[in-house]
Amino acid sequence: MSALPGSPEAAATTGLDDSPVLPAPIDLPPLTEQTRIEAREIIARYPVARSALLPMLHLVQSYQGYVSPEGVALCAEELRLTKAEVGAVATFYTMYKRRPTGRHIVSVCTNTLCAVLGGQRIMDALSADLGVHHDETTADGSITLEHAECLAACDYAPVVTVDYEFYDQQDVESARELVAALRRGEKPHPTRGAPLTDFRGISRQLAGFSQHPDQAAAAVAVDAPGNYEPTLRGLRLAAERGESAPPMRGREPEPADTAEGPRPPHPSQAQGGPRDGAGETVRPSGDTGETPGQEAADARVAAADTPAEKAGAAGAHPDAPEPAGRRLPDGREGTDTPAGREPGTGGQGPDGPSRTIEGRGPARRR
């Protein structure tokens, strides 16, 4: 289950698969200097370098078809992370593949609604026809089959995607025909969305680069026709019946100023708090013995309308207790590893023998 099967980085990070590393396919293209140039272009898009990791992993897949150990090493080197940190991300998201894939990824939704309408029968039939199970690739390298927990298209169920493009309202026979066409090298047009390419092409798109040869082809992909009838049907029925969603619950509208003078400010209008319909604030009273920030936080807690809002306001209060696990054995607060010395944290704090949180106020209230 690791993106780095058998590697100490993956085993240490996930505690999962520690099987021997499979040799790279003979035809696996190497990551070249051009790959590094594009990786650095991705990094330049972000104010914090490590934020570029997700599209960089897609970039690796666009060249090699999966997140290879070589790709993990490249990402770690360019972002100044450890391979364990990169492996932790690559093993978390299912769109990052942990072993070489086929030319196309065929995903069959087997979640509740799709399963009830035939999704599991589709998955079973394709598995039998192709001779593979979930996350396995056919011998000819054309198809990697996987089941998906949800493809976010319940109104089009049962749904199959190929390289994340939608083929809606499938049944066993239509899905079989689709896969047979893919194995012949054809690319049937999706029910909706851009024209089909392949897994490496869509990975390049997800990395933030165009997979199309020119602007005209890219424009055709953006403007591709599609069948959106199931989604539009509900909108039309609602309009015909005069139905609409209930209004969102909010605060009562504020009454207009009276002859006695303006209405007293709502507690949420204390310094630092929002005011409905305007960005105005009022100055703290200075009579409570609290700092302005504490007064504003008290006002936000008092003004919360729901338990969730109240919990969020209380958690952000300056007097809220620290989360568990932040205090060191000697009573100091901070981290055991000095900032700037731990891999992957370079430049995020001063070097020194320890990092503590100084200048805290009085003991925090519960």
Please write the tens of the pLDDT for every residue from 126-135: 999 999 999 9
pTM value? Answer: 0.62
Give 321's pLDDT tier (boundaries 50, 70, 90): confident
Total domains in the chain come to 2
pLDDT above 70: residue 341: no
On whether residue 236 sits in a domain, the answer given is no
On whether residue 305 sits in a domain, the answer given is no
CB within 8 Å of 86: residues ≥ 6 apart: 9, 53, 57, 72, 75, 76, 79
Q: Which of 38, 234, 96 is nearest to 154 (CA)?
A: 234
Among 176, 205, 222, the domain-final residue is 222
pLDDT above 60: residue 125: yes
Cβ atoms of 176 and 125 within 8 Å: the answer is yes
Which pLDDT score, from 0 to 100, does residue 189 have? 94
Q: What is the pLDDT of residues 132-171, one digit of tens each?
A: 999 999 999 999 999 999 999 999 999 999 999 999 999 9
Q: Which of 199, 189, 198 is nearest to 220 (CA)?
A: 189
Which pLDDT score, from 0 to 100, does residue 13 have? 40
Q: Which of 5, 25, 27, 9 is nearest to 17 (CA)?
A: 5
CA distance 57 to 71: 7
Q: Residue 54 is part of which domain span?
A: 8-90
Which pLDDT score, from 0 to 100, does residue 303 have? 83
The helix (run of H) or strand (run of E) holding residue 76 is helix 69-79
On whether residue 113 sits in a domain, the answer given is yes
Q: What is the pLDDT of residues 51-87, one digit of tens each?
A: 999 999 999 999 999 999 999 999 999 999 999 999 9
Cα of 4 vs its chain's centroid, Å: 21
CA distance 200 to 81: 25
Among 36, 59, 90, the domain-final residue is 90
Which pLDDT score, from 0 to 100, does residue 218 have? 86
